[in-house]
Amino acid sequence: MVFVMADRKSASYVASKKATVIDVARTAGVSKSTVSLVLRGGVGVKARTIEKVNAAIDALGYVYNREAAGLRNRESNMLAIVANDLANPYLAQVIIALETALTDQGLVPVVVNINESEARQRSLVASLKEHNVAGFFITPAPKTSADWLQGLASAGYPTVCLMREIAGANVPVVVPDNRRGMYLSTKYLIDLGHTRIAFVGGVESISDYQERKEGFLSAMQEAELAVKDSDIEPSSTKREGGQLAVTRVLDRDPSISAMVCFTDVVAYGAYTALRDRGLVPGKDISVVGFDDLEDSRLMSPALTTIRVNAEDIGRVASERMQQCREHSLSSDNDVVGVKLMVRSSCCAIGDKVAHSTSVPKD
């Protein structure tokens, strides 16, 4: 048994148990990662810092277990899925499809939710790196920097972006064909005779918003239809965001006869806003969504929307990750196809009942 004086409490603590890297770091006044660098050879570490770490190792009697370190450094079968918002039902579908694809490959998916916070994204990614994950799928938060994302990939962590692109980051991206999807929905409304069409919902700082907006503008310009600044109203991607965006648009211009919505969830909010004004979706104002959630065909009226197959997103993303880990992939984007699903939320100008043109109904 070892007896010590009270004023030597810390020394007693170390003497009664095996010293750890954390003990060494605390004694030397450096970080745990710096101690690890010194133990692996000290490349890039100042000579004075190496001396402090070695002095702490000697004082504490720390023993570096190289076999255990080797085991820790073996390639992990865990892959992190960093979700921007797990409350988003379409993203949940993509994650389920991705988890299935990864599990079929014998890999272990770990899902974390950053709730659209860039700070939380950085913190959770740092923690996941400490737990030896082998790579990252990330739907990046707004304000994510290209340098940070590129740095993650350059540090040896294969990284695939889902649903969003960060300009300047040299990493693979898997996205739906946002431009074509919104072009198809806008053109469909134009073919029904609508000339006053609004684009509602979505956060301006993310890439999918810009791509869908471009698709909307392309169809309107092709038809030589004017678009006012007031015809475009960004908002949060939640239901209440759609409700607020539609209210603002119609307060400014009651002549709007149709609207394309950033997502199906935004469209659900649009339905609420229209009914609050005594208007009937699909009769008084036509509405189109984007994603084709399972609930969309059950809405009243059933929602016309753009289908993006979540299973395709998950499958392609898992394939790209495998190629990244094998160092056989460029940073080119994978664009997954989309399809217009015509239901009863749209009608031709002057019609009192919803109907389609040449596009078959779902």
In degrees and rounded to multiples of 5, residue 114 shows phi and psi of -100, -10
pLDDT bin (cut points 50, 70, 90) of residue 356 is very low
Q: Rounded to two decimals, what is the model's pTM?
A: 0.75
pLDDT bin (cut points 50, 70, 90) of residue 300 is very high
Q: What pLDDT score does 18 carry?
A: 73
Q: Is residue 219 scored above 50 in pLDDT?
A: yes
Q: Is residue 240 scored above 60 in pLDDT?
A: yes
Distance, in Å, from the CA atom of 267 to the CA atom of 254, rounded to the nearest integer, reads 18
Contact 117, 141 (CB under 8 A): yes
Set out the domains of the chain in order of their start, with CATH numbers: 2-64 (1.10.260.40), 77-175+310-336 (3.40.50.2300), 178-309 (3.40.50.2300)
Q: Is residue 179 scored above 70 in pLDDT?
A: yes
Handedness of CA 16, 18, 20, 25 (dihedral sign): positive
Could you give the percent of the chain with pLDDT greater than 90? 66
- Please state, rounded to an integer, the average pLDDT across all residues of the chain: 87
Q: Which two tokens stand for residue 25?
A: 């770091």
Q: Give me the torsion for CA of 322, 80, 139, 88, rounded to 10°.
A: 120
What's the mean pLDDT in 32-51? Answer: 73
Helix (H, G, I), strand (E, B) or coil at 350: coil
Contact 137, 102 (CB under 8 A): no
Contact 356, 185 (CB under 8 A): no
Could you give the percent of the chain with pLDDT greater than 70? 85
pLDDT bin (cut points 50, 70, 90) of residue 65 is low
What's the mean pLDDT in 178-203? Answer: 97
Burial tier of 83 (Cβ tally within 10 Å: 0-12, 13-18, 19+)? buried
